[in-house]
Chains A and B, each alone.
Chain A
Amino acid sequence: EAGVTQFPSHSVIEKGQTVTLRCDPISGHDNLYWYRRVMGKEIKFLLHFVKESKQDESGMPNNRFLAERTGGTYSTLKVQPAELEDSGVYFCASSQEALRPPLHFGNGTRLTVT
């Protein structure tokens, strides 16, 4: 089966611009998660979708971040406008059932805001 796919793999944008990251989970996985790792620090939870609904968005840093999962398939994470502190690696993960770990991760999108 295909794994979790993320693109782009890298994105370099200027402060104030907008970037949209995309994640395609494993087919049939209702649960989709976004995580972020700022350089050298822990991987932090951003939010969790169950199908198209946001189950938990307690980790979203602020209202410059908008996540969507239309139709319960792929998800997008938009940052608008981007700030320097948004730089990091954004990981997407999926699981078939929320109560059954583990998570299957994508390779991440490395975002650099200059």
Chain B
Amino acid sequence: AQSVTQLDSQVPVFEEAPVELRCNYSSSVSVYLFWYVQYPNQGLQLLLKYLSGSTLVKGINGFEAEFNKSQTSFHLRKPSVHISDTAEYFCAVRKNTGGFKTIFGAGTRLFVKA
């Protein structure tokens, strides 16, 4: 079975500062990895995904994440955040062969302060 741990439930940061949201996963098989974002009163929106190939993945809104297989991590980063990045971010994992269930972490609330 797969599991996802998001190490920080809340991350406050000042505008234009860099941010890293941490995600570790557990799986006995190869997986796909995702970050989703949920803005207030909206559904989840895909930020970026790792399916295969380059371990550095770039997504929308200037976010990127690096897949580290040895550390089973998929941390999300942005070099300079904006007020509009305030949202909840979810890391997720899915087996890449068979089984279609996507497993989510508990979420990290990012607060960007002026």
Count of chain B residues with Cβ under 8 Å from any Cβ of A?
24
Contact A101 B4 (CB under 8 A): no
Contact A41 B101 (CB under 8 A): no
A31 within 8 A of B: yes
Contact with A along B96-114 (1 / 0, CB 8 A): 0001111111110000000
- Docked Cα-Cα span, A3 to B4, in Å, equals 27
**With A31-B100, A48-B101, A107-B41 given, is the CB distance from A102 to B90 under 8 Å?**
no
- Residues in A with CB closer than 8 Å to B51 are 101
Q: Which residue of A lies closest to B3 (CB)?
A: A42
- Residues in B with CB closer than 8 Å to A31 are 100
The residue that B102 contacts in the complex, of A40, A41, A103, with Cβ under 8 A, is: A103
Contact B43 A42 (CB under 8 A): no
**With A102-B46, A105-B43 given, is the CB distance from A43 to B104 under 8 Å?**
yes
Q: How far is the CB of A91 from chain B (nearest CB, A)?
A: 7
- Docked Cα-Cα span, A107 to B9, in Å, equals 21
Q: How far is the CB of A6 from chain B (nearest CB, A)?
A: 8
Chain B: residues with CB nearer than 8 A to chain A?
A: 4, 9, 32, 34, 36, 41-46, 49, 51, 90, 94, 99-107
Chain A: residues with CB nearer than 8 A to chain B?
A: 3-4, 31, 33, 35, 40-45, 48, 55-56, 58-59, 91, 93, 98-99, 101-103, 105-108
7 tightest Cβ-Cβ pairs between the two chains A and B: A105-B43, A43-B104, A105-B44, A98-B100, A107-B43, A42-B106, A102-B46
Q: List 14 A-B contacts (CB under 8 A).
A: A40-B9, A40-B106, A42-B104, A45-B102, A56-B101, A93-B44, A98-B100, A101-B32, A101-B34, A101-B51, A101-B94, A102-B34, A102-B36, A105-B43
